[in-house]
């Protein structure tokens, strides 16, 4: 079966449509620091309001433990969503209680409401299917149809993702359709040469992606904290850098498999080694086979790829027709260790083909470093969901909408 789209729901004029968005944006002191996920939801919401629907938006924010926590309120998100839509967004101070009921019942055609954080209700993330279904039924009472558009949560079997899609006539929104088109191009029909850039802290988080994509790619570039497990697998000492010793043999297996397949795995030849974790740390650039050759010896820790590696990565990226990047190259939040990530991001903007930033920390990094979304072919809104897709896993939030690999 093919993915059901909004068109399958028919004429929505005057109908109430519950829309699951992913508005899980970062907040600092109650202020939104990156509104990328809100902006990503606008196309679907605008299409529904233009069709005359009464739109009831639901989302989560953070990880509250099934009860209200003021720091996780969606109130700031409602205000920003209203600014971006150019209309008032009514905000309900609960999920399925008196406030939600009153706000939804007062919606006119073309109106938009946002309910409070779904995860304030324990039914949203309950491991008990019956509890999830009971919560989904209460949400379903607010709508005539359901549109799922929170790509960042489609790998979760949660009430607003799975059971709600079963409780109402349901379809995927424009964001999910766009994400799936890009991911299909990455897995089934990439233009060659195809390069995957992986960073972030742990090799174990990326093993499934490496295994699934290795037969499909031409080059695999390894940065971030995970590079030290690769360097250790090659016999190098890595000081106090992040290291998963239990994954060294697995990494050696991938290095051997890459040779067999003719895939180039590019492991850093240098790194920025620091005396401690902090913006005020002393640091030095060291060759990969001399990471402990510093005044700090074995206590030094690598916090970024080095300039030689960054330049080599950039050259491979710029010469590729398809590039997928997931995971920063270093601790980009600290300026002394941001250059590797900045160099990789800049190279992606120069790709003559499809460049994809794989959501999560990578998306946060490019925006924090001053790049605009429009400079890349696609910035995914779903870090974990994207990775699970690229691992070849089943995603329940997509399958319930009729999509199957």
Which residues are identified as catalytic?
Answer: 37, 202, 360, 384
Considering only CA atoms, which of 251, 225, 250, 249 is closest in space to residue 238?
A: 225
At 128, which helix (H) or strand (E)? none
152 among annotated binding-site residues: no
326 among annotated binding-site residues: no
160 among annotated binding-site residues: no
Rounded CA gap, 318 and 314, in Å? 6
253 among annotated binding-site residues: no
Considering only CA atoms, which of 388, 401, 390, 403 is closest in space to residue 155?
A: 388
235 among annotated binding-site residues: no
3-state secondary structure of 22: coil
206 among annotated binding-site residues: yes
24 among annotated binding-site residues: yes
361 among annotated binding-site residues: yes
Q: What is the largest CA-CA distance in the chain?
A: 70
**Cα 284 from chain centre:** 32
85 to 112, 129, 152, 203: CA distances (angstroms): 9, 35, 21, 40
Rounded CA gap, 326 and 207, in Å? 13
119 among annotated binding-site residues: yes
How are the residues of the chain apportioned to helix, strand and coil, as percentages rounded to the nearest 5? 40, 15, 40
219 among annotated binding-site residues: no
256 among annotated binding-site residues: no
Rounded CA gap, 152 and 161, in Å? 10
306 among annotated binding-site residues: no
Binding residues: 22-24, 37, 60-63, 119, 156, 206, 302, 333, 359-362
Binding residues for ATP: 206, 302, 333, 359-362
Binding residues for substrate: 22-24, 37, 60-63, 119, 156
């Amino acid at each position: 079966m093919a993915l059901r789209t909004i068109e399958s729901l028919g004429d929505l004029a005057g109908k109430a449509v519950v829309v699951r968005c992913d508005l899980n944006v970062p907040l600092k002191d109650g202020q939104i620091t990156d509104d990328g996920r809100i902006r990503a939801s606008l196309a679907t919401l605008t299409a529904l309001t233009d069709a005359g629907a009464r739109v009831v938006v639901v989302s989560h924010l953070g990880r509250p433990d099934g009860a209200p926590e003021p720091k996780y309120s969606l109130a700031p998100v409602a205000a920003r969503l209203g600014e971006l839509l150019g209309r008032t967004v009514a905000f309900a101070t609960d999920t399925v209680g008196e406030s939600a009921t009153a706000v939804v019942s007062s919606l006119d055609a073309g109106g938009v409401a946002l309910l409070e954080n779904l995860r304030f209700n324990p039914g949203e993330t309950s491991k008990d299917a019956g509890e999830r279904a009971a919560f989904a039924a209460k949400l379903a009472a607010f709508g005539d149809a359901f549109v799922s558009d929170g790509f960042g949560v489609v790998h979760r079997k949660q009430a607003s993702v799975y059971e709600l899609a079963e409780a109402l006539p349901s379809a995927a929104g424009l964001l999910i359709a766009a994400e799936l088109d890009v991911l299909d191009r990455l897995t089934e029909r990439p233009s060659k040469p195809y390069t995957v850039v992986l960073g972030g802290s742990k090799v174990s988080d990326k093993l499934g992606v490496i295994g699934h994509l290795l037969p499909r790619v031409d080059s695999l570039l390894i940065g971030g904290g995970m590079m030290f497990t690769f360097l250790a697998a090659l016999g190098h000492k890595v000081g106090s850098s992040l290291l998963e010793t239990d994954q060294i043999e697995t990494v050696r297996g991938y290095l051997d498999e890459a040779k067999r397949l003719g895939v180039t795995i590019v492991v850093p030849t240098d790194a920025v080694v620091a005396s401690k974790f902090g913006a005020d740390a002393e640091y030095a650039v060291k060759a990969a086979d001399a990471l402990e050759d510093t005044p700090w010896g074995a206590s030094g820790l690598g916090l970024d790829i080095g300039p030689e590696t960054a330049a080599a990565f950039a050259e491979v990226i710029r010469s590729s027709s398809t590039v997928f990047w997931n995971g920063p190259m270093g601790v980009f939040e600290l300026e002394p260790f941001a250059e590797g990530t900045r160099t990789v991001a800049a190279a992606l903007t120069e790709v003559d083909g499809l460049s994809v930033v794989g959501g999560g920390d990578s998306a946060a990094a490019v925006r924090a470093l001053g790049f605009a979304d429009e400079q890349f072919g696609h910035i995914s809104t779903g870090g974990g969901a994207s990775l699970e897709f690229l691992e070849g896993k089943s995603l329940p939030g997509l399958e319930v909408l009729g999509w199957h690999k």
